[in-house]
Amino acid sequence: MSKPASSPEARQELLSAYLDGELRPDEEKGVEDLLEQEPAAREQLEGMRRVVGHLRHVERMAPPQTLDMAVARRVALEGEHRSLLDRIEDGMGGMSRAKQGNLFFLFALVVALAVIILLFSQGLQRSQDSLIPVVFEDPSKLEDADLTTALQVVVGGALFRRHEGQHRGVLWVEDGLEVDAEAELVLLGSERAEELLTRYPELKGIAMLGHVKVEVAGRILELVDDSSLGLASP
Amino acid sequence: MEQEALSADSTAESNSGPAADPRALSSTPDLDLARRHRYGDSSAFEEVYRQYVQMVFNLCLRMVGRREEAEDLAQEVFLRIHRHLGRFNGRSALKTWIYRVTINHCRSKLSRKRWFMRSIKEEDEEGGVQLEDRARSPEDRTLANDDARTVMRALLQVKPRFREALVLRDLEGMSYDEIADVLRIRIGTVRSRIARGRERLRQVLEKELTT
């Protein structure tokens, strides 16, 4: 045998990948040796084969006919919204440049005021939030909790700032196409969160609606890009 | 933000090696569809819809277990596809991208409503429209349907992260490379999730079949 499986989980993985024909030749040889030597391994493989067989009993369903109509309706509705926007833009095309300029100026002013008010209110909110200690629960305990089964979200990025002598950061999550601000209870149990916790024992955080707040004592933790993680000096 | 996330479909490229070739092969027609959609050709989206509706609906169904929810999810998935197809950049195959959009949307919904905690009601399953299998007798089909129901019930008791991998592998027939690309995880993680999912499913099925 080229490399014996070091744990029951590792053996399970090897047998499962063997069943799928997804092993390297040396691993495959190792599994074949194992199967030859150990009846228990053969039994385990058979059990797995039965499970796969059961799964393949599940047939594809034809999508309901109402789906075609529903999708067409929603796409058309979205198209109407777009054409309304286009019409507004076209309507503006008839105005004089001076009028357009004034309108844009007024619009920009309103937007700027709204942004200032929003930022101010968020600042107030954050300064209140920051006084609340946040703690990540032990991920090993979370493993079996009901909620963790749903928490499969990829960390999309991180922002950090210094606040009252501490480094406080916000990780946000994405659901593939866009940052999902509506997601509830995301990230706990995600691999990236677990990786962060393992790698930085001083890291504390809490799952919140749509994002996770993290605290790193003395260091700034930053996601350099979507796929790598690094430390920057404070 | 969306553009940034869209470009993120390139992050999986490091996960897959030479097996990623099919993406390059399929990128031209895929990009052509995206381009046509971007320039307002409504038939491009219709083509995408026709080609992938069954895949999307079934993937949603396997993930949430209930036909009505699967239909709602599929609608939302296609709305997303309609919104973003024009910006599809061809770094993954369109099919991979659609799988990813679907899986991510299901995850998001599952985490919001925890549908996976509900068991499937009989009437929900009856509501599904099974594709006709003329090669089997009616008796065989009834037996197969019962088996399929049991397996679906059991599958819903597998954690979503393992369930995703199992569905993609054993129901969609994807390779580990392709799964890694869709889920944007390493091959080793794919292997581990499939193995753990199968083990969990085995335990649940054992319990289901003995009671």
Q: Which of B11, B75, B101 is facing A177, going by the closest CB pair? A: B101
Inter-chain residue contact A177 with B61, CB threshold 8 Å? no
Q: What share of chain B is helix, strand, coil (3-state, %, to 5)?
A: 80, 0, 20
Place of tokens 């593939």: A176
Supply the pLDDT for residue A106.
84
| Cα–Cα distance measured from residue A137 to residue A178, given in angstroms and rounded to the nearest whole number | 27
Supply the pLDDT for residue A157.
34
Is any Cβ of chain B less than 8 angstroms from the Cβ of A182?
A: yes
A-B contacts (CB, under 8 Å): 181
- Rg of chain A over Cα atoms, rounded to whole angstroms, equals 27
List pLDDT tens digits, range B69-102. Answer: 899 999 999 999 998 898 888 888 999 999 999 9
Per-position pLDDT tens, chain A of length 234:
444 566 888 899 999 999 999 999 999 999 999 999 999 999 999 999 999 998 887 888 899 989 998 898 888 887 665 655 555 555 555 555 566 677 778 888 888 888 888 877 766 555 443 322 223 333 333 333 222 222 223 233 333 333 343 333 333 333 332 222 222 223 333 455 555 545 554 444 433 323 333 333 333 333 322 222 222 222
Pick from A123, B49, B143: nearest CA to B57: B49
pLDDT, mean over chain B: 76
Chain A interface, mutation test: which of B199, B205, B208, most A Cβ atoms within 10 Å? B199
Average pLDDT estimate for B125-137: 43
ipTM above 0.95, yes or no: no
List pLDDT tens digits, range A49-105. Answer: 999 998 887 888 899 989 998 898 888 887 665 655 555 555 555 555 566 677 778
Q: Can you read off the two tokens belonging to residue A107? A: 């619009």
Place B129 in a pLDDT band, splitting at 50, 70 and 90.
Answer: very low
| Cα–Cα distance measured from residue A89 to residue A92, given in angstroms and rounded to the nearest whole number | 5
In chain B, which residue's Cα lies nearest the Cα of A146? B117
| Cα-based distances in Å from A149 to A145, A209, A221, B101, B163 | 8, 17, 27, 19, 10
Inter-chain residue contact A70 with B170, CB threshold 8 Å? no
- Who contacts B113 (Cβ-Cβ below 8 Å, separation ≥6)? none
Domains recognised in chain B with CATH numbers: 2-117+135-210 (1.10.1740.10)
Higher per-residue pLDDT: B124 or A153: B124
Pick from B147, B127, B111: nearest CA to B66: B127
**Sheet of A166-174, strand order:** A154-163, A166-174, A211-216, A204-207
Residue A64: CB atoms within 10 A of its CB come to 18
Average pLDDT estimate for B17-21: 38
List pLDDT tens digits, range B179-196. Answer: 999 998 999 999 999 999
Q: Which of B5, B78, B100 is facing A71, going by the closest CB pair? A: B78
Supply the pLDDT for residue B99.
95
% of chain B residues with pLDDT over 70:
70
List pLDDT tens digits, range B45-65. Answer: 999 999 999 999 999 999 988
Pick from B96, B92, B102: nearest CA to B27: B92
Average pLDDT estimate for B160-171: 93
Interstrand relation of A61-62 and B129-130 (parallel, antiparallel or unpaired): antiparallel
Chain B interface, mutation test: which of A155, A177, A191, most B Cβ atoms within 10 Å? A177
Pick from B54, B28, B32: nearest CA to B43: B32
